[in-house]
Structures are given as structure tokens and as C-alpha cells.
Structure 1
């Protein structure tokens, strides 16, 4: 039986890439949590005291404002590493 030939080509090795760990900014987590809390509190205060001086004049826009804060927090959470 004939001997098998040695491999002429080198085995593929992928190039070495330096993996840098991405770190989120220090302000991101506090702003994210604060925006969730502000949104929940805004909606809660609207339901508890709908006739408050500033909140009562906005009527149903209060829900939009509260949900905007909450959605802003969710958008920031997608940037968190």
C-alpha cells in the first residue's frame, strides 16, 4: 500500500483579533432607572390626584408623558452592556 502524502497547505487559523470589552458610560444606568421611576410616578400621581395644579391641566397627555419616560428608559436599556 502506498504512503499518503503529507499535507502541503497549512491548516487555516483565523487572524487574531483583539476583543475589547465594551463598557457602557457611567451615567447610563442611573438615567435609565431614573427615567423608569419618573414615568411610573408620573402616571401614578395622575391617577391618585388627577386634579393637582399642574397635572390636572394636561388631562390624558399625562399618560403620554409617563409612557414617554418609560420608553426612553427601555431605549437606554438596549445600550447597556
Structure 2
């Protein structure tokens, strides 16, 4: 049976000049203010939901957001949006 031809590969040679990468600013650690705002959003959202469950029917602005049992309760939206904003901020935290 005839033998197939063996192909020789060219030896890899790296390019002579390195392309200059785009100047990227080195990201340092996040500011303590950023961390405080991030944690504040998460804690405030959790506190909003807890207060809504415990005393939402006795607080005027929570009743106005639908805490009286009639219709959609926007207090859940407010609480969960604050928590989600805090969680989204964690993606930029260094």
C-alpha cells in the first residue's frame, strides 16, 4: 500500500513588531463611597420589604403605593428595584 505524503509545517515565527494595544486605564479599587452606596441600596431595599410586611398598612406613603390590599402593591417593586440596583452595582465593584 502506498504511503501518503508527509507535509512539513512551517516553523512558527512570532511577528517582529508587537501591535500596541489600546491604552486601557488600570482600574483601581472602588471608592468606599461606592461600596457604601451599593450596600445601602441592598439594605434599604430589604428594609423596605420588611417594613411593608410588618407595618405597611399603617404608613401613609406605603398605603398610597398599594399597601392597603386593593390592586397591585408597588411597594414590592420599590424594594426589589433597590435590591437589584445594589446587586448590579456589585459587577463594577473592584
Q: What TM-score do the two structures reach when normalised by structure 2? A: 0.62
Between the aligned partners of 1:21 and 1:75, the Cα distance in structure 2 is 18
Please report how far the alpha carbon of residue 25 of structure 1 lies from its aligned counterpart in structure 2 after TM superposition: 2.5
Q: Which residue of 2 aligns with 1:25?
A: 31
Q: Which residue of 2 aligns with 1:36?
A: 42
Q: Which residue of 1 aligns with 2:74?
A: 61
Deviations 1:45-74 (A, max 9, x none): 111012111111102100000001000100
Please report how far the alpha carbon of residue 27 of structure 1 lies from its aligned counterpart in structure 2 after TM superposition: 1.5
Q: Which has the higher contact order (CA 8 A, sep 6+)?
A: 1
Q: How many residues align?
A: 69
Q: Secondary structure at the residue paired with 1:57?
A: helix
Between the aligned partners of 1:22 and 1:53, the Cα distance in structure 2 is 44
